[in-house]
Each structure stands twice: as C-alpha cells, then as structure tokens.
Amino acid sequence: MRLHKTMLMLALLATGVQAAELPKTAETESPTPADIPAPAPGAAPAAAPAGAAAPAAAVAPVTGERLPLDDLRIFVEVFERIRASYVEPVEDRQLFENAIRGMLSSLDPHSAYLDTRDFEELQNATTGEFEGIGLDVGMEDGVVKVIAPIDDSPASKAGLRAGDYIIKIDGKSVQGMSLADAITLMRGKPGTKLQLTVLRKGEEPREVEVTRARIEISSVRVRTLEPGYHVVRISQFQTHTGRDLRREVEKLAADPKTPVRGLVLDLRNNPGGVLDGAVAVSDLFLDGGRIVSTRGRVLEGEQVFEASPGELLSGVPLTVLVNGGSASASEIVAGALQDNHRALVVGTTTFGKGSVQTVLPLTAGKGIKLTTARYYTPNGRSIQAEGIRPDIVVRPAQVELLEGGDLFHEADLQGHLGNENAAAAAGKGDGKAADKPLVERDYQLAEALNLVKAAVWLKQKAPAPATAAPPAVAPQEDAKPAKKPASRRKKAA
C-alpha cells in the first residue's frame, strides 16, 4: 500500500507539472488585501474576497524544463522517512502543510502560507472590519483585561470600561486560555448573543450580555497641535483609510473660525497594508500625475496608478513624517508626494519594502501570500531595499528645556509701564499645570510642525507675480492705425 501511494504521488507530481496563472475572479466590491494592486481597467482582480472559493487556475505554458523525476523521488523518500522514523507520529496533512510553508518562506521574507486562522486575521487587518463585540483586550494575571472598548461598539454600549477583567466567556473560565483563544470565543456572527462575566475593581463579578455586530475600526486619527495646524496619524492602510481621511480633513476645512494653515501626515511605524488605501490617500493631496506603478513577471503588463483631478487642502503646506518602521504602502504615499513636490518628507529613511504581495485563496478557507511585483515611485525609483530618503533628516531625540534661559524682562523692572491688553488677558488661565511642550514629548513631530510653519511663512511672504507694464502710449479707441509698423515698434520700446 505504501509503495502504491509513493508511485501515485510520483505520477501526479511528474506528469506535466507546469506553472499556472494567478487565479482571477469576477469583479466584486470586496477589497483585495495585503498590498494587492487594484486591477487595471477591464481586468479582474488577482484575489477573491474572504471566504470565496478559489477558481480553477488556467494552465499556461512556461519556458524551462519540467520538474526532474529524481528530485521528486527525493521528496517522497524524505516524506516516507519522516513518517516511519520520527520520534512521534506525524499526520500526513501536517507534513504537507509544513512542506508548503517551507517552499513559500524560502522565496522571500514576505511570501507565506496562510492557514484558516491566518487568512481570516489578514482579512480583518486589511479591511479594518471584524465580527465581534468591539474590545481591545490583553492578558493580565491569567485573565482577559479590557484595554479599551471601541467607540459605539456593542461592548461600549453594554457599559464595559477600560480596566475591566473578563473572567468567563459564555460560562467558560478564561484561566489557562491563550489570548487568541479568548478572542476567538468572543467573535462570532452579527446578531448572536455573548455572555461575559466581568470583574471590576471594588465590585462583585456581574454578568453582561452583549450582542455581536460588524465592527469597523478607523486607522485615521486627527488632532490639533496649534490653531490651524493639525497632525493626521495613519496607523495602517486599510480598505476605508482614504474615505476616513477625506471625512476627517473635510471636517477641519469646514471650520470657518480656524482655517487649516498646515498639516503633518504622520506615517511613522506604519507597516503598510492595502495598496488601494495608499493610492486613495495620495490621490487626496494630488491634483494629477502618477502615484505609483508596479511591474512583475506574471501580471499582465505594467500597472500604473494616476491621481484624479481635484485635491483636498490645495495650496496648504504639507509634511510627511516617516521613520524606519514606515513600510510598503507608507512608502508609496511618501514617494508619491515627494516626487510630485506636494509635500516635504521629514524623519529618517523608511524600511524599504518595495514588493507587492498577492493573496491567493485556496480551498477550506486557506490561502498563500505570494510576492508578484515591485513598486516604483512616480520618478521610477524602486523602493525595494532602498526605502524613501527624507528631504530633511530629523532623528529621534529627547529634548530637555533649560530653565532660566531668559533672565530679565521689561516686566521685571520696577515702575514699568503696563500693557493695555494685560487686563483682557488676565483671568483666562484655568489654573492647571501646562502640558509638556511638544518638543519634549515628540521631537520629530515638533520639527515637522516647524517646517510646516516655515512653509506657511514663506508662502505669505512670497512676492506677488509681476504684472505686465502698461504701454508707453495708451491706445485710443478712435485712433487711426500707424502707417509704419517699424515706428510703432520703436514707440512701444
């Protein structure tokens, strides 16, 4: 029987083993995850949405020899030796999955095999959506601790707070559970009920019933640094990142009292994400021109992504803050805004991940993540292993402000004249200790803000464009034309 299996395996592997094209699916509204480029006009996307069955791959001939039979024999021989002699019994399925993992991981650091859980987690991370109750949790002393409930989520509406402890999930004690297992239990189909036993300090344990729902997490956070100056923090590029950013920036622009004067786009430690999200964010700040292009061996032709007409905050100075943790989609945005001269890139050189990973679904909810192309900035630069070099290098630093630098002021002189504005300003303080200055809390962000301010100042001080000088003799409406053109040219001179 074992010999029969071996010969059957050899026959299957050795009979006309050829490469297949990437599976293509019909156009859907679902996003393609993990750095998958959007399809060119008229083309189908490279990956199916979560849960879709993989279509039959179209077989296409490739140049090169077929797999040698001797190498296949070695593979089968190793497989049989492990089954027969390993210290513990190993299932055939596990051996095959391990072989697939090794085959992909040996290609490059970003190609990988995705089992059912990995595939689902990748979908959740790239879409920013999952089915559950909306809690950010961690493990502490063997129980699940609530770090923070997501705004407007079922958990938030049920009254769960940061610092609460979940000791039972649907009657099962979480003692001895891993965090991943606890999260799996809390997730489920929208509309289903979940019973939690919650312990809050100083109170008795209580039962909380929560109804699961579809949770959407925004990767965009906006805060005001000074009146008119704001920082936009993007933690990851998800399917809805472009939409969320547009919504937040339009809110800022709609304030009639404080117009937007400058913006800092903070992409530090942003690992990347969906290519469509990076293209959408770049498009918001560009009025035209190329955003990024991809080139690979299998994908049909070069894919080019262009910015559409119209931009948010036209003319408002913009800086992009990056560091060594800014990778992939973050580098696409930084490179697009840098090459199109729309923003000043500040910080340190980025990570240098310039490759495209296409997620190809397999049967049983599994998939593979395969590197299929490289990114190129609008100027044709490859990001791979090079990264985006900032226009102005600002390294992380800790700044300590010195006390007593200004020793003496006019107000310290005895009998000094008062200021007529002093009375109006008096009493406006709230008596609270001021926060640490931004330069002490985040030196790189403070420098990025200073550069935006400098750009605003230069824009305000820029001289108005010169207008054409009026003619030496103003033309009269009823005047007769000159007889000699030469004399007219002389007079105009």
Residues serving a catalytic function are 328, 339, 353
Of 281, 239, 272, nearest in space to 30 by CA: 239
Nearby residues of 2 by Cβ (< 8 Å), 6 or more positions away: 80
Distances (CA, A) of 354 to 122, 125, 224, 357: 19, 20, 32, 10
**Structure tokens of 100?**
């697939």
198-202: Cβ within 8 A, 24+ apart: 198/160, 198/164, 198/165, 198/166, 198/167, 199/143, 199/164, 199/165, 199/166, 199/167, 200/161, 200/163, 200/164, 200/165, 201/163
Distance CA 1, CA 34 (A): 43
Residue-wise DSSP of 207-252: EEEEE-EEEE---EEEEEEETTEEEEEE-SB-TTHHHHHHHHHHHH
Of 368, 319, 344, nearest in space to 111 by CA: 368
CA angle 224, 228, 230 (to 5 degrees): 35
Nearby residues of 36 by Cβ (< 8 Å), 6 or more positions away: 45, 46, 47, 274, 275, 356, 357, 358, 359
- Exposure of 72 by Cβ count < 10 A (0-12 exposed, 13-18 middle, 19+ buried)? middle
Q: Within 107-178, where are the H helices? A: 116-127, 154-157
Report whether 160 contacts 171 (CB < 8 A): no
Q: Are strands 229-234 and 262-266 parallel, antiparallel or unpaired?
A: parallel
Q: Are strands 318-322 and 344-347 parallel, antiparallel or unpaired?
A: parallel
Sign of CA dihedral 318, 319, 322, 327: positive
- Exposure of 10 by Cβ count < 10 A (0-12 exposed, 13-18 middle, 19+ buried)? middle
The enclosing H or E element of 128 equals none
